[in-house]
Amino acid sequence: MDLKVIGVLSVILVVALSSLAEGKTLPTRCQCKLAPRERRNCGFPGISAAECRKAGCCFNASVPGVPWCFAPKAKKVRKVCPNDPHGRINCGYPGITAKECERKGCCFRAHPAGVPWCFYHRVVEE
């Protein structure tokens, strides 16, 4: 293989891996509160706390014999109907009934005038 091709492929690989690493968000303290037996390994032998956190994982080296770098608990989210009438995103059509709207999985509030009465939920973290 040509040296130029190897160089180009190397650059592409580095860019792809760095973009994957940048997308990670740091877990919250609550997400990292896991019983040692519930930990799922998220690193490699000898990983540092900084490398582990940079990968979006939790790090706790206080318990021997279990993963120190481990996957965080999933964030808890719930659907809510937005209170601000002007922040509503239309989910229906003029004349839709509450039953039809709710069957679509949307919120329904027949007030105030001039805003959607059938509208999408918002997802919020708990």
pLDDT in tens, 78-94: 899 999 999 999 999 99
**Domain identity same for 87 and 61:** no
pLDDT in tens, 2-17: 555 454 445 444 444 4
In a domain, 14, yes or no: no
**Domain identity same for 68 and 90:** no
DSSP string, 67-95: -SEEPPPPPPEEEE--S-GGG--B-S-TT
pLDDT at res. 28:
84
Asked whether the predicted pLDDT for residue 20 surpasses 80, the reply is no
In a domain, 43, yes or no: yes
Structural domain count, the chain: 2
DSSP string, 17-59: HHHHHHT--PPPTGGG---GGG--B-S-TT--HHHHHHTT-EE
In a domain, 115, yes or no: yes
Q: What percent of the chain has pLDDT over 70?
A: 80
Asked whether the predicted pLDDT for residue 67 surpasses 90, the reply is yes
In a domain, 109, yes or no: yes
In DSSP terms, 119 is beta-bridged to: 90, 107
**Domain identity same for 98 and 114:** yes
Q: Average pLDDT, stretch 51-78?
A: 92
Instruction: Please give the residue range of the domain that contains residue 118.
Output: 77-125
**Domain identity same for 63 and 83:** no
**Domain identity same for 85 and 114:** yes
Cβ contact 67:96 at 8 Å: no
In a domain, 13, yes or no: no
**Domain identity same for 66 and 93:** no
pTM for the full model?
A: 0.50
**Domain identity same for 65 and 45:** yes
CATH number at residue 28: 4.10.110.10
CB atoms within 10 A of CB 86: 8
Query: Is pLDDT larger for residue 76 or for residue 107?
Result: 107
